[in-house]
Amino acid sequence: MSTSSRAYRPLAQVRAVGGAYVDQVVADFRALPAESAQSERYAEAKALADGCDQLDWQQLFTLELWVLQLMPLHQLEERAAILAQIFAHPASNRPEPGCDDYPARLLAWALNLQSERQWAFRKNLLREQEAWRLRKRLGETLLMISVLMLTLGWFAWLIEVPTLAMVAMVYWLGVSGGYASIARRSQSASATRPGESSRSTAFGNLCALDIGQGSVVQAMLLAGLFALIGYGLLASGLIGQILQDGLSKTLFPQFAPLHELGLPLPRSAEDVTKLGVWSFLCGFAERLVPDVLDKLSGKFKPKSDKPAEGSEKR
């Protein structure tokens, strides 16, 4: 049995993705006072800063931490104040001036927070890359479905089968609604923020985006199926069993009865527009059609005879 493994996808170059990050770190190094050159770390940090266009992420993060170690106390206090504003709930309190070994404690505190910030940045970057790959695959799927459905609709009008053209339109709008829903949720998914490294949201998002693409595409295709089921519910008049008759005529399209086998067609252009809107909503709200079916099944389910309270007591 053959097994296929995906080739490792290296991260984009640091300069191409995080150019502003690189510029900030190099600017912090250039702002070090002249006495910092006496430190043994200075030569290694200078070599990294001079070759900033060829840095990888590990070297960039290392340079940033070395700059903190090379800072004099007044610059370190300024950086610690910035980190304290970024982290609303740091793991430990900032050391107070006057405590034992205050410079060393403050440096250790700043290094811990800066490492945490680097961790969050790297996870957010990976998440955005995976989200971009997911959006690309969803866009390709939507384009393919659009071409197929528009071709089917055009062919149906040529052979004068308007019902088939309406089905193609409904399915395409349902898939489009599913695409819009998935794209919105992928953008609003919570990313890791500084101070939340203990939570599993970043790893969960990365795993879901990385290995769950097939399931997401399947959900988008199912959205088109839900739109077709919604078309059947609207055309059958079962929705009117749930809502009042006047409200049903206002919100939902009205259909002309057919004398032959097939789905009824909307009566007017206004009803076609209403059908298109509801088809999109059926795909966008993935629980809309299942919830309606649950209500209908509960409404028409025969009530079972319950034993009287007196017989239960006996």
Q: How far, in Å, CA of 218 to CA of 174, rounded?
A: 13
Confidence band of 295 (pLDDT split at 50, 70, 90): low
What are the backbone dihedrals phi and psi of residue 265, each rounded to the nearest 5 degrees, phi first?
A: -105, 150
Residue 8's SS3 state is coil
pLDDT tens, residue by residue, 102-135: 989 999 999 999 998 888 888 778 777 777 888 8
Tokens of 72: 């004099």
For the ranges 17-26, 55-64, 114-123, 249-258, the lowest mean pLDDT is seen at 249-258
65 vs 124 pLDDT, higher one: 65
Task: Tell me which residue of 109, 87, 114, 110 sits closest to 196, measured CA to CA.
Answer: 87
Average pLDDT, the chain: 79
* Predicted pLDDT of residue 288: 66
Of 11-15, 116-120, 218-222, 233-237, give the lowest mean pLDDT range.
11-15
pLDDT at 56: 85
Mean pLDDT lowest among 7-16, 56-65, 82-91: 7-16
- pLDDT tens figures, 162-207: 888 999 999 999 999 988 888 877 665 555 555 554 444 555 655 6
**Bigger pLDDT: 15 or 146?**
146
| Residues 10 and 56 sit within 8 Å (Cβ to Cβ) | no
Q: Residue 45's pLDDT band (boundaries 50, 70, 90)?
A: very high
Given this model, what pLDDT does residue 30 score? 92
Over 70: is that where the pLDDT of 14 sits?
yes
- Residue 199: the pLDDT is 46
Tokens 């393919």 locate to 144
Q: Is residue 273's pLDDT more than 50?
A: yes
pTM (2 decimals)?
0.63
Distance CA 170, CA 230 (A): 9
How many Å apart are CA 176 and CA 170, to the nearest integer? 10
- d(CA 64, CA 18) in angstroms, rounded, equals 14
What is the rounded distance in angstroms from the CA atom of residue 203 to the CA atom of residue 197? 10
Which tens digits make up the pLDDT trace of 234-262? 888 776 666 655 566 778 888 887 655 56
pLDDT over 90, % of the chain: 25
The two tokens of residue 95 are: 């050391």
